[in-house]
Amino acid sequence: MIKKPELLAPAGDLERLKYAIHYGADAVYIGGPILGLRANAINFSFEDIKEGVKFAHRYHKKVYVTVNIVLHNKEIDFVIEYLKKLEECQIDAIIVSDLTIIEFAKKYTNLEIHLSTQASIMNVEACKFYKQLGVTRIVLARELSKEEIQKIIEEVDIEIECFIHGAMCSSISGRCVLSNFLTNRDSNRGGCSQICRWDFKLLDENKKQIEGQKDFTLCAKDLSLLAYIKDMMDIGITSFKIEGRMRSIYYIATIVGVYRKVIDGYSNDPKYQYDPAYEKVLRNCANRDAVGQFFNHKNDVSCQYYNGREEISNQDFLGIVLDYNPITQLATIEQRNYFKEQDQVEIFGPNTQLVSLKLKEIYDENQNRLKIVCHPREIVQIKVESKVEPYDLMRIKKF
């Protein structure tokens, strides 16, 4: 039997943390009140962190906190106090790139330290250096192939974490300050304004415009290593990481759920083959193309995106199951996107086999019949003949 890796999911807030764990994450990573790389996210207060840790530990899952900002002088004085407060929250590790934070964490706390992908670690020597500093896990750069990762695992006795799914930086992490120069927002301090998704005109050496069918962009397609999960398990990667702390619960539940099934499938049966429909589910969820990127040596035009910023926001996610009454067969749903009577929908969840149905009966909280559900977070009831559970999600049926 192959050793089962950790499935590590992002969580932008407590609700998403709970969904990630319910849908099969072994660990979640979150941003604390300060010093993370998602300054525009809601992020967790210390109280939220404590509650999230308590929730995760109840299910024997772990919580890691990102402290991966590039420090400026003025933040140095905050670091020790902040790390001590995180330790009080009983988190399982911090994810760090700045060496001062590593040094202070070693000196003043017993926090476990994971090295962030911001450090862009790509080789054996660098891994050895960080191991002797006391780092217990390295999140490798996203530019590595399977063979390069394998060599590191063979030669350095340290936990290795790799991204398996989500958006990619077009640059080497840490080596892009386009955001600083074009929008004055600091990309290495949580302010990245994703300039790599902007359109530019490409000029030649004489500054004459080169006319392509579309404008020039640096944009990379998303990463998806679903097809390589077995390879990643075979070479002994410790943790499989999903990108996206700003993503919705629908995204997190869907992506985590799919990877959970595939990892469990390979762990339990070496002859397992995943359902190809999973690929459609993943693609549809993000509304962006995803490829294997550097893992399978594809550093070419197939990894680039030329659709500008035209991605349509995903409206597939219809609502959350809050409750189910097996006697009346009514499921209580919190609306997240518009739906109506006669829509073909699916309900899925960590313990619920996919339920497909046509919405025949919808009621409001006073049992009045509804034709459409169009108010954000409106609470309604729908008739569902199969049993569903809280934390199940409802989406439009597409396939």
Partner 1 sequence: MAKLMVIPSQEDISDFMNYADAFLFGIEKMSVHMPFYISIKQVKKYVKEMKKSKKKLFIALNKNMQNEDLKNLESLLIQLDNLDVDGIFYYDVAVLNIKKRLDLQIPLVWSAEHLTTNYATIQFWKNQGIDYTYISSEITLREILEIREHTNCKLIVPIFGYLPIFVSKRHTVKNYLKKFRLQNSSNIHYLRLKEEEYPIIDDELGSTIYSAHILNGYHEYLVLDDIEYVTLNSFEIPNEKFLKIVKMYFEKNPNHEKRINQMLLNTNKGFLHKETIYKVKKI
**Contacting partner 1 within 37-96 (CB under 8 A):** 39, 70-76, 78, 81-82, 85
Token pair belonging to 90: 């009983």
CB of 316 to partner 1, least distance (A): 29
Return the sign of the alpha-carbon dihedral for residues 295, 297, 302, 308: positive
Minimum gap (Å) between residue 352 Cβ and partner 1: 39
- Nearest to residue 288, comparing CAs of 142, 167, 164, 143? 167
Q: Of 327, 323, 329, 335, nearest to 394 (Cα)?
A: 335
Minimum CB distance to partner 1 smaller for 44 or for 317: 44
Residue count at the site for partner 1 (CB under 8 A)? 77
- Distance (Å, whole) CA 156 – CA 38: 31
Q: How far is the CB of 196 from partner 1 (least distance, A)?
A: 8
Distance CA 295, CA 38 (A): 26
* Cα gap 94→97, rounded to integer Å: 10
Of residues 197-256, those binding partner 1 (CB under 8 A): 198, 200-205, 207, 209-214, 216, 218, 220
We find the least distance from the C-beta atom of residue 132 to partner 1, in angstroms, to be 9
- Virtual CA dihedral for 185, 191, 197, 202, nearest 10 degrees? 30
Asked if 127 and 146 touch (Cβ cutoff 8 Å), the reply is: no
In the complex, least distance from residue 278 CB atom to partner 1, rounded to whole angstroms? 27
Of residues 285 and 290, the one with the C-beta less far from partner 1: 290
Could you give the 3-state DSSP secondary structure of residue 351? coil
Residue 318 backbone phi and psi in degrees, to 5: -100, -35
Q: Does 157 bind partner 1 (CB under 8 A)?
A: no
Shortest distance (Å) from residue 396 CB to partner 1: 32
Q: Compute how many other C-beta atoms are within 10 angstroms of the C-beta atom of residue 46.
A: 14
SS3 label, residue 11:
coil
Nearest distance from C-beta of residue 54 to partner 1, angstroms: 21
How many residues are there in the chain?
399
- Taking CB under 8 A as the criterion, which residues in 272-301 touch partner 1? 294, 299-301
Q: Which of 20, 91, 94, 141 binds partner 1 (CB under 8 A)?
A: 141
Contact predicate 396/344, CB 8 Å: yes
Which residue, 141 or 256, has its beta carbon nearer to partner 1?
141
Can you read off the two tokens belonging to residue 388? 């569903």
Residue 198: CB minimum distance to partner 1, A: 7
Toward partner 1, which CB reaches closer, 128 or 260? Answer: 128
Assess contact for 19 and 389: CB atoms under 8 A. Answer: no
Task: Identify the residue among 125, 275, 311, 361 touching partner 1 (CB under 8 A).
Answer: 125
Per-residue tokens: 120: 């862009």
Tell me which stretch binds partner 1 (CB under 8 A): 186-194, 222-230, 313-321, 381-389. 186-194
User: Applying CB under 8 A, which of residues 182, 277, 354, 374 lies at the interface with partner 1?
Assistant: 182
- Binding to partner 1 by residue 304, rule CB under 8 A? yes
Specify the residue, 15 or 154, whose C-beta has the smaller distance to partner 1: 154
Question: 355 - beta bridge partners?
Answer: 347
Contact (CB, 8 A) for 275 and 39: no
174 scored as a contact of partner 1 (CB under 8 A): yes
Which residues, numbered 351-390, are part of the site for partner 1 (CB under 8 A)? none
Interacting residue with partner 1 among 171, 307, 352, 386 (CB under 8 A): 171
Among 177, 227, 246, 370, binds partner 1 (CB under 8 A): 177
Q: Which residues pair with 331 in a beta bridge?
A: 324, 382
Beta carbon of residue 213, minimum distance to partner 1 (angstroms, whole number)? 5
**By C-beta, is 122 or 396 nearer to partner 1?**
122
Binding to partner 1 (CB under 8 A): which residues in 9-28?
A: none
